[in-house]
Amino acid sequence: MELQDGRTPNHQLVPHRGFSLICGIHDPDDVDQICNLDVTDSDVFVVTYPKSGTIWMQQILLLLEAGGDLNAISQHSSNADLVPWIEINGNRQAFMSAPPPRLRVTHLPYQFLPRALTHKKGKVIYVARNPKDVLVSYFYFHKVANMLETPQSFDDFFEKFLRGEVFGSSWFDHIKTWFSHKEDMNMLFITYEEMIQDLQAAVEKISVFLGKDLCEEQLASVVEHSTFSNMRKIPQASYQKVPEELLSHRVGMFMRRGTIGDWKNHFTVAQNQRFDQVFHREMKDFPISFIWDIKDFQ
Ligand code: A3P
């Protein structure tokens, strides 16, 4: 599809080696070179399917790095300045000359990431979230994010998500492929739901995985500044300062509900049945089970 002046619209998805990139945000040639990046042991890649807790993990990593000191990480307009998406135009180049520790996030599937990771160089944190809540979160994000196509309706978006016709492509392929390589790399696999259930335990787990040596007070400060309500008050953590041309702040917030089970307010009974069918077909051999409702904890 082209605009009347011949340009491709920014939100257009560009199929590339079994994955969809976003026109104007990603350069396929550049993305193809990510696999050749040299990785050192202090490098950390947070891998997520979109809407699974990426910005939450950005905040936690930054706070862990700063020993829980919020002021130390507040001098920039968004956490993405310090923990950028490796696949966005220009960021691969910047990675090569960045000082350690190089903390990065990515939505890319396994085949694009640095091969050095499979030689146990660097660390990977994969954050997974139950896909029904991912779908709902992604639906709202498509309305806010101007680099993504505005959905015609929830029903239409539901179908697109199940077909993998969104940035991130198939949720099922993303998680299964990454998980199947878990033992090849230094990977921590963590879920959004376990972070919701016990943030302190999750932060401690991440801290141990990264080899950090924080005292109790520092860890408590990391937890305090990464709760949903507190992060929402921190503009650089909740992306409130991102320019309007990228995010329409009047339409909605990046940090929307921050809970488990909001899909129940959106899926029809028929949609839920259909989703379950696809989920069971795709995930029947997957060894991790998901939490679908906040009430499952109580
Ligand atoms: P909702 O839209 O369901 O609220 P990502 O960063 O991968 O795009 O994911 C965004 C989702 O993570 C949003 O979900 C957002 O609210 C949620 N999120 C971000 N920070 C969070 C936090 N501290 N606690 C709980 N959820 C958080």
Tens of pLDDT, residue by residue, the chain (298 residues): 343 444 445 578 999 999 999 999 999 999 999 999 999 999 999 999 999 999 999 999 999 999 999 999 988 889 999 999 999 999 999 999 999 999 999 999 999 999 999 999 999 999 999 999 999 999 999 999 999 999 999 999 999 999 999 999 999 999 999 999 999 999 999 999 999 999 999 999 999 999 999 999 999 999 999 999 999 999 999 999 899 989 999 999 999 999 999 999 999 999 999 999 999 999 999 999 999 999 887 6
Would you call 171 helix, strand, or coil by DSSP? helix
CB 106 within 8 A of CB 47: yes
Q: Which of 137, 199, 224 for a ligand 1 pocket mutation test, highest count of atoms within 8 Å of Cβ?
A: 137
DSSP 105: E
pTM score, whole prediction = 0.96
CB 107 within 8 A of CB 45: no
At residue 104, φ and ψ (nearest 5 deg) are -135, 155
Residue type, 80: A
What integer pLDDT is reported at residue 295 of this predicted model?
87
Would you call 21 helix, strand, or coil by DSSP? strand
Give the chain's domains with CATH numbers.
13-297 (3.40.50.300)
Cα angle 266-272-275, degrees, rounded to a multiple of 5: 115
Q: Which of 49, 255, 262 for a ligand 1 pocket mutation test, highest count of atoms within 8 Å of Cβ?
A: 255
Cα-to-centroid distance, 80 and ligand 1 (Å): 15
Question: Which of the residues are catalytic?
Answer: 107
CA 150 – CA 51 distance, rounded (Å): 16
From the CA of 140, give the closest atom in ligand 1. Answer: 2
- What six digits make up the tokens of 26? 């990603």
Cα-to-centroid distance, 210 and ligand 1 (Å): 22
With a Cβ cut-off of 6 Å, ligand 1 is lined by 48, 50-56, 133, 137, 140, 226-228, 231, 255-258, 262
Q: How many helices (H) and strands (E) does the chain have?
A: 11, 6
Give the closest residue (by CA) to ligand 1 atom 10.
51
What integer pLDDT is reported at residue 296 of this predicted model?
85
CB 37 within 8 A of CB 92: yes
Q: Which residues contact 234 (CB under 8 A, 6 or more apart)?
A: 59, 70, 74, 225
Burial of 284 (0-12, 13-18, 19+ CB in 10 A): exposed
- Please report where in the chains the tokens 């350069």 appear, as a residue: 27
- List the 103-106 sheet strands across, edge first: 103-106, 44-48, 123-128, 187-191
Cα-to-centroid distance, 116 and ligand 1 (Å): 30
- Please name the residue ranges forming H helices in 12-168: 28-32, 54-65, 91-97, 131-144, 154-163
What integer pLDDT is reported at residue 298 of this predicted model?
64
- Please report where in the chains the tokens 């993303």 appear, as a residue: 174
Cα-to-centroid distance, 204 and ligand 1 (Å): 20
